[in-house]
Structure 1
Amino acid sequence: MKFKTLLSKCALIMMFFTAACKKDDFTEIIGLCPLVVSTNPTNGATSVPLDQIITVTFNEEMNPSTITLNSISINGPTVVTGTISYSGLTATFTPLSPLEANTIYTGRVTTDVKDTRGNALQADYVWSFSTGLLIGPLIVVTSPTNNEVNVLLNKVISATFNMAMDSSTIDQTSFIIKQGFTSTEGAISYSGNTAYFTPTNLLEPNTTYTGILTTRIKNLAGVSLAADYIWTFKTLSFLPPTVISTDPFDNETNVILTKRITANFIVPMIPNTLTNSSFIIKQGLTTIAGVVSYSGTTVTFVPNSSLDANTTYTATITTAAKNLAGTPLEDDYIWTFSTGSILVPTVISTDPFNLETAVILNKVISASFSVPMNPLTINTNSFTVKNGNTAISRIVSYLGTTAFFNPTSPLSPNTVYTGTITTSVKNLLGTPIATNYVWTFTTVNNIPPTVIATDPINNATGVLLAKIITATFSVPMDPSTINANTFILRQAGVMIPGTILYSGVTVTFIPSVNLKSNTNYTVTITNAVKNVAGINLVANYVWTFTTLTVPPPTVISTSPVNNATGVVLNKVITASFSTQMDPTSINTSSFILKEGLISVSGNVSYSGVTASFTPTLALKANTLYTATITTIAKNVAGVALASNYVWTFTTISNQPPTVISTDPLNNASGVLLNKQISANFSTQMDPASINTSTFTLSHGGIPVSGVVSYSGITATFQPDNLLSSNTVYTATITTGAKNLAGIALAANYQWSFTTIVLIPPSVVSTDPVNNALGAEYNKTITALFSIAMDPLTINETSFLLFNGTTPIVGTVTYSGLTASFNPVVDLLPNTLYSARITTAAKNLAGTPMANDYNWSFTTKLSGGAPFVNLNSVARFGIIAGAGVSNNAGFSEIHDMDVGISPGFRSSVTGFPPAIIVNGAIYAADDVAPPGVAAMLIQAKNDLTAAYNFAKGASVPVPIVISGDQGGKTLTPGIYKSTSSLLIAGGDLTLDAQGDPNAVWIFQIGSSFTTIGGAGGSIILSGAAQPNNIFWQVGSSATIGDFTSFQGNILALTSITMNSGATAEGRMLCINGAVVLTSTNIINKP
């Protein structure tokens, strides 16, 4: 009774699950039945790429066996052929060829799809999307594919286009392979529709590369790629190679005596490392002679003679075998196998196979044996094929382990044939097969072939102009009957040239040129085509289609513009189009220039999207011209302008040119001695007429030598030397100067000006000022002049600094009006220094200072340490070389960045939950924003410089400390520990004694540790600032639990902040990692 009750309960449960996915129940049992939750493209998506891979994502795991081309389909004008795969929750449909442009597609997921419990989709899921308009070329496939991994180091990278391309546009500037920002060297080639990049050297292992095909690449019509095509791939890792399989496998028995021994590697190997020395076969201690070869990832050993029967052999591949990276096997790879006893040979396969149907009439029949046979026993008596009792005339041959039967005439259609191998065939040892081997097959019937599908389909519209036309037959055809006489494309009765290909059951026609826009085409397959049985089509097969409509091109700009005036007489007239044009349609018939009704002779050229008309002779002055682009001009799709484009312009008048302005002005005074003299004309001039004969400068009748140039409407005279001070100069433009119409100035044009009266330069201010006290030790001394100086005269001989009579070594620079002296070493404390600017300093006019300028200042008293300048690394709250991690808790970094270099972003972990407030993370492998890697390198260089400065600081004299500093109070200065340093027995107080600029430098030879908890924190007093405290740590720093820390840590090896530790400062590590253990806070000091 209990058993019956249990059965009843199980039945009810099963009824619930099997009924649960009924449509009426679906909303009540959430998550029990499968749903489509998303698709890519989404429903209603537009401008979908033609190479789109379509995906469907479900709400639960599905039964992969129900995800098929029958349950998921994509339909446009015809059913889209493709492959289907399933992984995770997503089904992926990959079209075998690009989608049609400007076409609506419908996707359907049927109720045949089921989840792993057998629950079906409640209703068909249907969505649609549309592709974009395309005339230009596309990349249809790359090798390696996008995001492919484990790419071979000797890989030839390729990209295949959807049409023939202009090979001259495919070169090192348009096909680029990069590793990070570094371009990879290689050779570029092009064949068929495919471009190839062959790297000069092996690719780096375990490295990500980026391939770029730029818009410089064009097809044969001059149409560029719409955008740069970019993809990435990653090479195989730098690991030792391994043997992944062998044939025979280890301990295999009954191996045939003619066996070829092979081994497959996990990666490609260097072929010359696989020889008889590294691939050895032995029987006991005896080495077997043979030939070693290598292909792909497989090495093959072919014994010179048959192996011995019933014998054990040992195969060895030694560590001399290396992969393409030069890495050898870690250990010799050894396996054994045993041969079988001498057995009776057998027929192991035939072609056609037994009971095969639809065998072609020109079939060569073959039979393969289990062991090599004696060729003399394979003949017309031992290998027969019969139609009933009638033997077929034949030629019998033998190669390898296969016998071939070649009928002397085609087989009969729809006929059963019997093949027989008799017992007279023997192996090389003279052993015959045990019994006659007999099999049958049936040839194809004699039903005429038909066309079962075409692309485009009959009456299709919106067909791409670069369309490849195909037709599919019901049976395999005789390729020799598929040619330009039997597959014809016509437009209005005119045959379109193209290339015809045949494969499988499909014929393909590739037009030699793009089809015309909005045009009807007719395709004919004549009844001269035959199948492999020699049977013709019953009648010609004809279908039509219409291409898509391409908008007509337009003229978007001209030069001169419409109604322009004052156009120069040597003007080249240009017109720019809205799209790329057919260069052959841009000529003197489609680009016309007229003066009234008279055509102007000229040459027409075309480049990019611009047509140019260059008149043979100069245009006439003050004349109206009319330019016309006619409807003969067509774009690369063959679409003409909708109407003639006409515009007019007027050339410059025949009035004499005039000088409209000069620099300097007439009667100007105070003109600089290095002045360039210029004159502006009323119109463009003939540059050849503007020279030192027509543009002169003189003073008191004495000519000034110089160089004359001309640009736009401006002539310029550059004197060879500085002008003289307080002198009147006269400039003259003579009547030899002419405009582009050849018309000269009506009269010479003259003007005069007076140069500046020279005043000696002077020093107007200095820093430090004269008699200043408390100057910093690292002070840069500056002097500001009254006028711009000659930088060449501001140097170490004209700007001097002395301590008493001892010169101070420094670097002198000049910018704007300021000279700067930067001492090579810091100045001494509480010391009087004298600075001097000598009369060797001159202004731009060459006028020296009237007297030396002297001033003095005194440096500040000693007591504090020198400030450590962090420069660009000051922006970082954390920077590390190898890693940055937040192990637990919600750590925070405020108002500073986090950086890692040379480490990568993958080595920054725990962000989040850690956050950065008013800052960002930067890593050496970041590609955006541009320049991150260089910025990080500079920051690390600045960190190293600051570390070395702090480590070597010696003024004031360092105070030697050691051990635990807890409970102490330290005033500003340099503190040096030759080994480790602790803060453990209490808090360490740093007292600035009222000086907010006071500096501490702690020089720690080894590790630095704060214990934390009740003691071990840093306490600041007397106006001390955390930004002025520097902890130079020779190895690793550890900030203890709940420590309140102050200052900047500059560590060589690593930094760790334990749980709850906080810092007003920076954690800066040169080589290793910075670790935040749990809930740490770092604030900008």
Structure 2
Amino acid sequence: MAPYAGQSFAEGLPPYALGFSPNGTLAPIYSPIMIHWNETMNWTSVEEAFNYTDNVTVWNSSNGTWAHNYTANTSVFTPTEALNYSTEYWVNINVTAKDLANNLLDQDKNGTGGYWPADVLSWNFTTIYEDVYLPFAKAHGPNGTAVPIDAQFVIVWNETMNWTSVEEAFGYSNGTTVFDSSDGMWSHIESTNTSTFTPSAYLMLDTTYDVSINSSATDINGNNLDGNKNGTVDDWPEDVLTWNFTTGEPPPVVLSTYPDDGLTEVDPNTEIMVQFSKPMHMAFTQNGFSVSDGLTNLTVADGTVTWNPAMTIMTFQPASALANNTTHTILLDSLWVRDQGGSNLDGDRDGVGGDNFTSQFTTWLDPPLPKVIHTNPPDGSSNIPANMILNLIFNIEMNTASVEDAFSYTNGILEKDSSSGTVEWFDDDKVFSFRPAVILDYDAVYTVTLNSSARSAYDMPLDGNGNDVIEVGDDHVFSFSTAPKPPEVTSSYPINGDIGVPVDIGAIMLNFSKSMDTVSVLNGLTVTPTFGFTSVWQGQDMNLTLVLNQTLAEATQYLISIHGLATDVDGNRIDGNGDGLGGDEYMLRFTVASSIDQTPPVVEDVFPDHNSTGVLINTFIAVDFSKVMNRTAVENAFTVMNGSTTVNGSFSWSVSGTAFKFTPTSALAYNTTYTARLSASASDLDGNTIGNDVAWQFVTESESAGSSLDEIWWLLAVIFMLSVIICAQYIRGRALRMKMRRANVEIKKLRKELGKRSADQTDASVDKATNGDAGEIPDALSNTQGVEEKGPGGKPSVTNDTTPEGGPPENKP
């Protein structure tokens, strides 16, 4: 045999059909042709490779319609025309059919596809002989009266019907409104030939409904309905299936009791419960209730009665214990017991009210010994998940504390007790449930022990071996083994969540913790969006490489998944989510790089700072980004709010386009908290957004702070003016002192000159006196001591100097 021309020799698992239909004989003439594949196929190649023949005529895909299911890997072809009766057909799918990796069909499953004729998918079937039997209804309902308003319509046919024709032929009416199949939902069971219609709304109470199924309903071979069962068709309206019924309020019935009817070993202190189908009339129902042991008849007066809010459950607690080892009968007298609408009890549930209800139970002689009647996991079970929840089910209510103290489990190395997990109790303390805090060891044998110290709520010791005998050391012991650790993907390339993966990555690698069943892995492997690849296994089937036959799509997220049914070579299902338990799907997501910059911008700085206070009311708000931004997107994303009030303003941008300033139209309010917000939609020029909202707050200055500042400025102005004046005075005084110093110098000069002149005058006087011409000396010149002078600064000073040599100074003005 030679390979089909053009076959790819790339490594990988070639496709084949797991199943197909129809098969054998008696195939309906309206049968679709179905193929179930081992993997997702190239559906176009399947349709092109398909044909079927009756050995006279050959038909292909153009003679019908195809439907393909990616999840189920199925292809369904529906012929345009019905097949011929009693005819053998051959269906062929040529070897040109291929999977998504372009591997050709390998129907002989030898691992090599594309060989003709061995790899051609071919089978035959024979259609049913011409049907001479006509369809009819064997039974239908509901019927009669008092039909519940939530009733379903049921028809049982004598053969399999064309369900679509049944639905199209169906209708019902309440005399005012006509309903059809669109007013509810159909279900059909082919194995029992049963059709059930459930109305989408309740029927009307106390109303007669007429139901009809027209004679256009057919069986699967196209024979019309024979409604009157006379063996002929086309008798209208005789062959129309019709019936009617009347809705009404059904009488109440007892749904359940506790103790159950026939129950033995009942606690004499038990409560007695009755559940009804409808809300009951409390007084009448309680009058009709009694419990009797043949000697004593208890009524509600002999205990306490409670009802649930819906008035459908009555509970009676006798005031004293019932007699031991005695059969008790619960009686509900229908003459009294009735619902809130006045309908009497239907005790025998025949649909008609007015008959009594009875139920019996027997109390114990002594409280029974507590026993473990069931465990989960069962004794001797294997392959139990490591995260199991352990349950012990008892025959009677237990003393919960004693059970928890008596419980232990071990893997043969370490023993643990109930404190090593979480304990819950259910069913009136009859079910003990234990969840270990840490999952159990993989592939280990565990032994669970409930020692004989466990006791029932009636203080009876545990009957561990269930022989109804009280014995020393009567423990209950069972064991089980846990499953091996499931296989998992230990690493991958790309890694999960990776972004920026090259479009020409070439290969995707998955590394498993165990040797895998390669067929189950590849059958469970899907790629979304799809791409062509060749699978290569290495490393004892622990390393899977998907060699890509194409480049990946730019800026696209891919998902590679492996179904939870994939197993290792020992049949252990894959642990896809890494929780230590097998059977869940593995998923690898990665995103292919884009030629467009996809780095999101970042807000690097804001003004005013977050939580800043005392901000000037005429401030601006500014934001600095890490990238050049889309101005329109940023401005649309930016708001400044005072509570629910938006602040209006204008924007201005830096030359670089990485920062903006927002200037409010008017001054902000004093002592007010403002919130500036930049929503996540703010983006750069490539459309990358900041990802999350950025918000910050600031508080403006108070009005009093502004007035104090004005006062400070005025004070500073006054101080400045005073300083100017003082400086001017200082300069002026300095000039005066300089003038006085110069004056003193002049005075000293005058004194010297005066002294010189006085001496000259003295000599002249002496000469005059000597000559007899001398006069009296002036006091002003002779009294030179004690003369007051003005010293520096104009202050008077006293001098005691004697007249200087040469005479007194010249007396000048």
In the superposition, the TM-score normalised over structure 1's length comes to 0.25
> Between Structure 1 and Structure 2, which shows a larger proportion of strand residues?
1
With a CA cutoff of 8 Å and minimum separation of 6, indicate the structure with the bigger relative contact order.
2
* Higher Cα Rg, which structure: 2
Structure with higher helix content: 2
Q: What is the TM-score with the length of structure 2 in the denominator?
A: 0.31
